[in-house]
């Protein structure tokens, strides 16, 4: 017995349906004409012609049953007496064994949008995620005979792959490490990883993954508000850090230029006071308020 899980597609080159049908029609017309002419001339039909006419009549439904039309981007997998014989991939009009079962398989690209599912990311945060996958049947024998229903099998494997992908990556870089691949920040790498994993899962069913991408990504509603506040706080901290770094650089340049030009000589205490005042002015949220000192720096 043939093991269906080890089947690989066999490209089949059937006979031309138009040629077989034309030959059959010509033969039947010739038999009918011979019977008619003989009957007119001899008032009887010879036994051989009668047998040929009967056989032709019996063969008619078999010839018609063997005819098959294959459209563009379609395939016909033939199974004869329980054995896979091959697949017709070319479009056209063909004739095959009349007792062969013909299974239609679409070879067109299929676009699937998975359901939005809730899963915990690597950090344990509940998120909502969905994907869009474009695929087509690559091996018709595996698609038909290696799995029960390749469409259902594909849908389940897409959901499984998306769940696993979300569980091994964090939603975003909340720790500020910048080393881990995140679902939100590294979309291209995540899409490549999803496509690779899906291809490994769908090889059994003879499916070729053309493209796979995350189509929906968000925190679950129960934590969305808290995570928004955290993102805002992280953004504020990052902005403050940039402001401080810029202010320190500006203060350093100011002190360097004052010393190089010899405009004023500052001891350590005066430098500290100047640095503090400049940082307040550069990093403050409000406009600086000038203060006039009528004395000295030390009173």
pLDDT digits (tens, 9 = 90+) for 145-157: 999 999 999 999 9
pLDDT digits (tens, 9 = 90+) for 209-223: 999 999 998 888 776
Q: Is the pLDDT score of 2 beyond 70?
A: no
Name the H helices within the chain. Answer: 17-42, 47-66, 140-145, 150-167, 187-202, 221-261, 268-283
**How do residues 168-222 score in pLDDT, each as one tens digit?**
988 887 655 556 788 888 889 999 999 999 999 999 999 999 999 999 988 887 7
Q: How far apart are CA 168 and CA 200, in angstroms?
A: 17
Q: Report the topology of domain 110-219.
A: Tetrahydropterin Synthase; Chain A (3.30.479)
Taking only the tens place, the pLDDT of each residue in 65-94 is: 999 999 999 999 999 998 999 999 999 999
**Which pLDDT score is estimated for 86?**
92
Task: Give me the helix-helix angle, 221-261 and 268-283, nearest 10°.
Answer: 140
Q: Give me the pLDDT at residue 264, please.
A: 63
Domain boundaries, the chain: 4-103, 110-219, 224-283
pTM, full prediction: 0.69
Q: What are phi and psi of 8, to 5 degrees?
A: -130, 150
Residues near 179 by beta carbon (within 8 Å), at least 6 away in sequence: none
Q: Does the pLDDT of residue 297 top 60, yes or no?
A: no
Tell me the average pLDDT across 242-246.
73
pLDDT of residue 4: 43
Q: Report yes or no: 178 and 237 within 8 Å, Cβ to Cβ.
A: no
Torsion of CA 126, 132, 138, 142, to 10 degrees: 40
């Amino acid at each position: 017995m043939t093991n269906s899980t080890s089947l690989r597609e066999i490209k089949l080159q059937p006979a031309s349906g138009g040629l077989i049908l034309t030959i059959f029609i010509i033969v039947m017309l010739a038999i009918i004409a011979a019977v008619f002419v003989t009957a007119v001339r001899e008032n009887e039909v010879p036994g051989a012609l009668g047998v040929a006419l009967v056989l032709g009549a019996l063969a008619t439904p078999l010839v018609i049953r063997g005819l098959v039309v294959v459209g563009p981007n379609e395939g016909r997998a033939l199974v004869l007496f329980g054995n896979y014989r091959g697949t017709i991939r070319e479009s056209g009009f063909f004739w095959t064994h009349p007792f062969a079962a013909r299974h239609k398989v679409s070879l067109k690209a299929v676009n699937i949008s998975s359901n939005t599912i809730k899963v915990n990311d690597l950090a344990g945060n509940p998120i909502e995620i969905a994907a869009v996958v474009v695929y087509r049947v690559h091996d018709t024998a595996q698609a038909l005979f290696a799995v029960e229903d390749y469409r259902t099998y594909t849908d389940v494997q897409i959901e499984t792959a998306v769940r696993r992908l979300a569980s091994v990556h964090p939603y975003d870089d909340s720790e500020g490490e910048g080393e881990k691949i995140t679902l939100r920040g590294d979309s291209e790498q995540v899409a490549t990883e999803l496509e690779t994993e899906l291809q490994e899962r769908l090889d059994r069913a003879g499916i070729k993954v053309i493209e796979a991408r995350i189509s929906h990504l968000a925190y679950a509603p129960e934590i969305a508000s808290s995570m928004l506040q955290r993102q805002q706080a992280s953004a504020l901290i990052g902005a403050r850090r940039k402001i401080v770094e810029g202010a320190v650089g500006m203060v350093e340049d100011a002190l360097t230029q004052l010393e190089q030009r010899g405009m004023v000589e500052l001891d350590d205490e005066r430098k500290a006071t100047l640095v503090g005042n400049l940082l307040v002015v550069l990093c403050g949220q409000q406009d600086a308020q000038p203060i006039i000192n009528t004395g000295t720096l030390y009173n």
